[in-house]
Homo-oligomer: A and B are copies of this chain.
Amino acid sequence: MQFQLLTIVGVGLIGGSIGLAAKQRGVARRVRGLGRQRSSLDRALSVGAIDEAHLDPQAAITGADLVVFCTPVDQIVEQVLNFAKHCEPTTLLTDAGSTKAAIVEAVESTLPANGPQFVGSHPLAGSEKRGPEFADARLFEQRWTVVTSTPRTSAAALDRVAGFWSALGSKVKTMSPADHDRALALTSHLPHLLAAALAGALPPDLHELTATGFRDTTRIAAGDPRLWTAIFAQNRTPVLEALGRLEGRLHEFRQALESGNNAAVDQFLAQAKEVRDALGN
């Protein structure tokens, strides 16, 4: 049992999955959920993701040895800084946000060095679905979680947070917040942008002429626009760089197709297939 009392702030699909996994794997003796809506907390209780439901931050946080913030990326900084005031200095704080530099920099520059320690985390798992009813105790198994390290990060805190994700079944990788954000701009934020651009470009009269290819390619465009607007806003520069990289490739394809250069089109597709085949299903 690594933790006596785990508090999850925001018990949706990710927070609920953390609670389920922590309970089933014996990672935390007791799991508290903090939320803003009674109905969502009740669903988290009913699927067994949490032992206690709280609407009051102070009651949820008091006595916790680990607090995980699973709220939208534009709420994490304010919550961490507010809630840290109610914590023991030994309480460990981490998050599950899809962006890291904006969050980690804002938290580290404000949180006092002698109080609770914060380590940024991002489990690369999830779904376009929302809510604790989709929680899955195995969500993190065989997936990567990035934990972030900066010159201010406590090595002991980093170890404990990494150990937490490992105990949930995840593989763990340590990166700087900026490296994380540049990587995820390409592997997650750009795919979301493309899926949305493609879905949004579909005229209504063509809906019925879509097949599995269109549906796969646009599936993540069903994600929550508000959550993703916050992610794009927090990771603006890396996303724009990733978009530029993609626009360059589209331009290359356009030139090949316009000029009837089938060898270049084939080469473009063959290189992509090689990458995709290497990823597996």
Interface residues of A (CB under 8 A from B): 124-127, 143-144, 146, 173, 183-184, 186-188, 190-203, 206-226, 228-229, 232-233, 236, 239-240, 242-243, 245-247, 249-250, 253-254, 257-258, 260, 262, 265-266, 268-273, 275-279, 281
Contact = CB atoms under 8 A, between A and B. Distances in A.
B260 A233 contact: yes
A258 B241 CA distance: 11
Nearest to A180: B209
A120 to B, nearest CB: 15
A221 B276 contact: yes
A211 B186 contact: no
B220 A216 contact: yes
A209 B124 contact: yes
Given A196-B253, A216-B217, A216-B220, 20 more contacts: A143-B211, A186-B201, A186-B203, A187-B209, A187-B210, A188-B214, A192-B213, A194-B198, A196-B273, A197-B249, A197-B253, A199-B275, A200-B271, A201-B246, A214-B279, A221-B272, A221-B273, A221-B275, A224-B273, A229-B266
A277 B198 CA distance: 13
B199 A187 contact: no
Number of copies of this kind of chain in the complex: 2
A277 B222 contact: yes
Given A216-B220, A233-B265, A257-B240, A188 B211 contact: yes
Contact of A127 (B143, B212, B275): B212
28 contacts: A124-B211, A125-B211, A143-B211, A186-B202, A187-B206, A187-B209, A187-B210, A188-B214, A192-B213, A194-B194, A196-B272, A199-B272, A199-B273, A199-B275, A200-B249, A216-B219, A216-B220, A218-B275, A221-B273, A222-B273, A223-B269, A223-B273, A229-B262, A229-B265, A236-B258, A239-B257, A240-B258, A243-B250
Considering residues A233, A257, A271, which has the most beta carbons from chain B within 10 angstroms of its beta carbon?
Answer: A257
